Structure 1
């Protein structure tokens, strides 16, 4: 069973979108690949949002497939905490972050 976390994020005011995307490619993707609980990690720029979805607006959506929610959260609380603090201090508005955990329904 695939366990996937979707995270909707908004850039902090004044953050250059190209600088954030460069950070994602050069730093965040590499850091995610070092986390043994992450199977797959990709960030997507949101280009359009249907009416009726509240809480935004958001700029990006992360898709994080993990081996276990428990293991992922354990790693985030220990090994990734400093990195996540940097991410929110420099690039992202923590007050706009929304997280959704899911389990894929197999055919």
Structure 2
């Protein structure tokens, strides 16, 4: 199954505790309500990041889904759009995000 990763940075002045509470209360709750998600976790990155010591990344998300196409539909749904508006309106600096998809080697 495909896994999408998102590496992100908070906007200046955002309290990490407030963001992490939002992840637990809003982000995880929505994902758990959707059948396409196999696993979804947000991880706080510990410093230093070897090989990228000057980066500002603070979090990495691991999003395992049954279908990338359905994942994109879920993000485009009214609930997905509202969630992303909260995420990028309040918390994350979208310009510093890195996204990629991986496939497990079995």
Question: 1:78: Cα distance to partner?
Answer: 2.1
1:7 aligns with 2:32: no
Write 1 or 2 for the structure with the bigger share of helix: 2
SS state of the match for residue 102, structure 2?
A: strand
CA displacement, residues 20-52 of structure 1 (integer Å, 9 cap, x when unaligned): 111111111111111222111000000031124
TM-score (norm 1): 0.89
Q: Deviations over 1:57-77 (max 9, x none)?
A: 211000000001111011112
Moved over 2 A (4+): none
Specify every segment of 5 or more residues in structure 1 that has no aligned partner in the other structure, as ranges: none
Question: Which residues of 2 match residues 57-96 of structure 1 at below 5 A?
Answer: 57-79=56-78, 80-96=80-96
Name the count of aligned residue pairs. Answer: 104
Partner residue, 1:34: 33
Q: Which piece of structure 1 moves more, 10-19 or 77-86? A: 77-86
What's the TM-score, normalizing by structure 2? 0.90
Partner of 2:22: 23
CA RMSD for the aligned pairs? 1.6
CA contact (8 A) 2:10 2:92 kept: yes
Q: Gapped runs of 5+ residues in structure 2? A: none
